[in-house]
Chain A
Amino acid sequence: MISIMQSIIATPAGQIDQLVDIVAPTWAQFILWMPLISLVLCGLCAALKVKTKAPAIITVISLATSFVLTLMLYFGYEGAEVIHIFEWIHVHWNGGSFISDFALYIDKLTLLWMLFVTGLGTLIAVYASEYMEHDVGKGYARFFAGVSVFLFAMSCLVMGDNLLMLYLGWEGVGFASYWLIGYFYQRPAAVAAAKKAFIVNRIGDLGLALAIYLIWSTFGTIQYDGISTALAAHNNDAATFSAFGGWTVHAIPYLLMLAAFGKSAQLPLYVWLPDAMEGPTPVSALIHAATMVTAGVYLIARTYPLFQLDDYALPIVAWVGGLTALFAATIGMAQYDIKRIMAYSTVSQLGYMFLGLGVLSSYGAAYHVFTHAFFKAVLFLTCGAIMHGFAGQLDLRKLSGLRKMRGWKIVSYTMLVGCLCLAGFPFTSGYFSKDAILAEAFVTQGSGFEILGWLAIFTAGLTAYYTFRVWFRVCCGPEYYEPGDELHGDDPSSFHPHPPRVAINFVLIAIASGAIIAALPYFMDNETKGINGGWVAEMVHDSPARGGVPNAVVAVVDGEHATAHEGVANAVVDQDHATHGSILGMDPHKAMYYISGVVGMIGLGFAFFFHLARRKAADSLRNKLLASRFTRWLPIAMENKWYVDEFYIAVIRTPLWILGKLFALIDRGIIDGLLVNGIAGTPRAIAKWFSPLHNGAVQSYAVSMIGGAALVILLMMFMPEIMSFLQSTMIGATP
Chain B
Amino acid sequence: MTPWLLLLIPLIGAAAIFLTKAELSKWISLGVSLFVFVISILMSVQFEQWGSMGTGLRSETSWINSMGLTLDLGADSVAMMLVLLTTLLTPLCVWGSFNAITSRRKEYYAWLLILETAMLGVFLAQDLILFYVSFELTLVPMFFLIAIYGGKNRAHASVKFFIYTFAGSLFMLAGFVYVAWQNAQTGAGGWSFAIHDLAIYASTKLSATEQGWILLALLAGFAVKIPVFPVHTWLPLAHTEAPTAGSVILAGVLLKLGTFGVYRFVLPMVPEAVVAWAPSIAILGIIGILYAALICWVQDDVKKLVAYSSVSHLGFCVLGLVALNPIGLEGAVLYMINHGLSTGALFFLIGMMYERYHTRDMNMIGGLAKRMPVWSVFMVFFVLASVGLPGLNGFVSEFMCLLGTFVSSTDAQQWPGVLGPQYAAVAAIGMVLAAMYLLIMVGKVVFGTLKEPDTTDRGSLPVDLSLREIGVLAPLAALCIWIGVQPTVLTDAMRGSVEKVLSPYPKRVKEHVEQQHSESIMLKVPESETPDKEDHHA
Judge: A and B partners, yes or no: yes
Which B residues are CB-close (under 8 A) to A660?
294-298
Is A680 at the interface (CB under 8 A from chain B)?
A: yes
Given contacts A91-B491, A660-B297, A660-B298, contact A672 B233 (CB under 8 A): yes
What are the interface flags for B493-506 relative to A under an 8 Å C-beta threshold, 1 for contact and 0 otherwise? Answer: 00100110000000
Chain A 171-226 residues near chain B, CB threshold 8 A: 171-172, 175, 178, 182, 185-186, 188, 191-192, 194-195, 198-199, 202-203, 205-206, 209-210, 212-214, 216-217
Closest Cβ of chain A to B259, distance in Å, is 19
Is B233 a contact partner of A734 (Cβ separation < 8 A)?
A: no
Which A residues are CB-close (under 8 A) to B507?
none
Is B428 a contact partner of A206 (Cβ separation < 8 A)?
A: yes
Which B residues are CB-close (under 8 A) to A171?
389-390, 395
Is B421 at the interface (CB under 8 A from chain A)?
A: yes
Closest Cβ of chain A to B448, distance in Å, is 5
Is A480 at the interface (CB under 8 A from chain B)?
A: no
Is B330 a contact partner of A186 (Cβ separation < 8 A)?
A: no
Chain B 432-459 residues near chain A, CB threshold 8 A: 432, 435-436, 439-440, 443, 446-450
Is B223 at the interface (CB under 8 A from chain A)?
A: no
* A220 nearest CB neighbor, chain B only: B413
Q: Which of B76-84, B100-108, B400-408 contacts A (4 or more CB under 8 A)?
A: B400-408
The docked-state distance in angstroms from the alpha carbon of A93 to that of B494 is 11
Is A210 a contact partner of B425 (Cβ separation < 8 A)?
A: yes
Which A residues are CB-close (under 8 A) to B236?
667
Is B432 a contact partner of A657 (Cβ separation < 8 A)?
A: no
The docked-state distance in angstroms from the alpha carbon of A178 to that of B383 is 13
Chain A 59-104 residues near chain B, CB threshold 8 A: 87-96, 98
Which B residues are CB-close (under 8 A) to A732?
207, 209
Is B326 at the interface (CB under 8 A from chain A)?
A: yes
The docked-state distance in angstroms from the alpha carbon of A671 to that of B233 is 7
Is A168 at the interface (CB under 8 A from chain B)?
A: yes
Is A199 a contact partner of B485 (Cβ separation < 8 A)?
A: no
Closest Cβ of chain A to B446, distance in Å, is 8
Chain B 87-131 residues near chain A, CB threshold 8 A: none
Is A89 a contact partner of B487 (Cβ separation < 8 A)?
A: yes
Is A664 a contact partner of B384 (Cβ separation < 8 A)?
A: no
Is B262 at the interface (CB under 8 A from chain A)?
A: no
Is A663 at the interface (CB under 8 A from chain B)?
A: yes
Is B425 a contact partner of A676 (Cβ separation < 8 A)?
A: no
Given contacts A186-B367, A210-B428, contact A87 B488 (CB under 8 A): yes
Is B402 a contact partner of A209 (Cβ separation < 8 A)?
A: yes
Is A671 a contact partner of B230 (Cβ separation < 8 A)?
A: yes
What are the interface flags for A433-445 relative to B under an 8 Å C-beta threshold, 1 for contact and 0 otherwise? Answer: 0000000000000
Which B residues are CB-close (under 8 A) to A185?
367, 369, 446-448
The docked-state distance in angstroms from the alpha carbon of A96 to that of B208 is 30
Closest Cβ of chain B to A403, distance in Å, is 39
Chain A 672-702 residues near chain B, CB threshold 8 A: 672, 675-676, 680
Given contacts A168-B391, A217-B407, contact A88 B431 (CB under 8 A): no
Is B460 at the interface (CB under 8 A from chain A)?
A: no
Is A661 at the interface (CB under 8 A from chain B)?
A: yes
* A49 nearest CB neighbor, chain B only: B373
The docked-state distance in angstroms from the alpha carbon of A191 to that of B208 is 55
What are the interface flags for A6-28 relative to B under an 8 Å C-beta threshold, 1 for contact and 0 otherwise? Answer: 00000000000000000000000
The docked-state distance in angstroms from the alpha carbon of A659 to that of B295 is 8
Which B residues are CB-close (under 8 A) to A178?
439
The docked-state distance in angstroms from the alpha carbon of A213 to that of B436 is 23
Is B210 at the interface (CB under 8 A from chain A)?
A: yes
Q: How many residues of A contact B (CB 8 A)?
A: 57
Which A residues are CB-close (under 8 A) to B487?
88-89
Which A residues are CB-close (under 8 A) to B384?
175
The docked-state distance in angstroms from the alpha carbon of A188 to that of B448 is 5
Contact of A206 among B407, B432, B446 (CB under 8 A): B432
Given contacts A171-B390, A217-B406, A730-B213, contact A209 B431 (CB under 8 A): yes
Closest Cβ of chain B to A173, distance in Å, is 11
Is A167 at the interface (CB under 8 A from chain B)?
A: yes
The docked-state distance in angstroms from the alpha carbon of A587 to that of B159 is 82
Closest Cβ of chain A to B261, distance in Å, is 21
Given contacts A91-B326, A185-B369, contact A664 B299 (CB under 8 A): yes
Given contacts A188-B448, A206-B432, contact A663 B295 (CB under 8 A): yes
Which B residues are CB-close (under 8 A) to A202?
431-432, 435-436
Contact of B391 among A87, A172, A186, A667 (CB under 8 A): A172
Which A residues are CB-close (under 8 A) to B163?
680
The docked-state distance in angstroms from the alpha carbon of A211 to that of B407 is 12
Which B residues are CB-close (under 8 A) to A209?
399, 402, 428, 431
Nearest 5 interchain pairs by C-beta: A660-B294, A672-B233, A93-B326, A168-B390, A213-B406
Residues of B whose CB lies within 8 Å of any CB of A are 160, 163-164, 207-210, 213, 230-231, 233-234, 236, 291, 294-299, 325-327, 330, 367, 369-370, 384, 389-391, 395-396, 399-400, 402-403, 406-407, 412, 414-415, 421, 424-425, 428-429, 431-432, 435-436, 439-440, 443, 446-450, 485-488, 491-492, 495, 498-499
A sample of 15 inter-chain contacts (CB < 8 A) reads A90-B491, A91-B491, A95-B414, A164-B390, A178-B439, A202-B431, A202-B436, A205-B431, A212-B403, A213-B403, A657-B298, A659-B294, A660-B294, A675-B230, A732-B209
Residues of A whose CB lies within 8 Å of any CB of B are 87-96, 98, 164, 167-168, 171-172, 175, 178, 182, 185-186, 188, 191-192, 194-195, 198-199, 202-203, 205-206, 209-210, 212-214, 216-217, 656-657, 659-661, 663-664, 667, 671-672, 675-676, 680, 730-732, 734-735
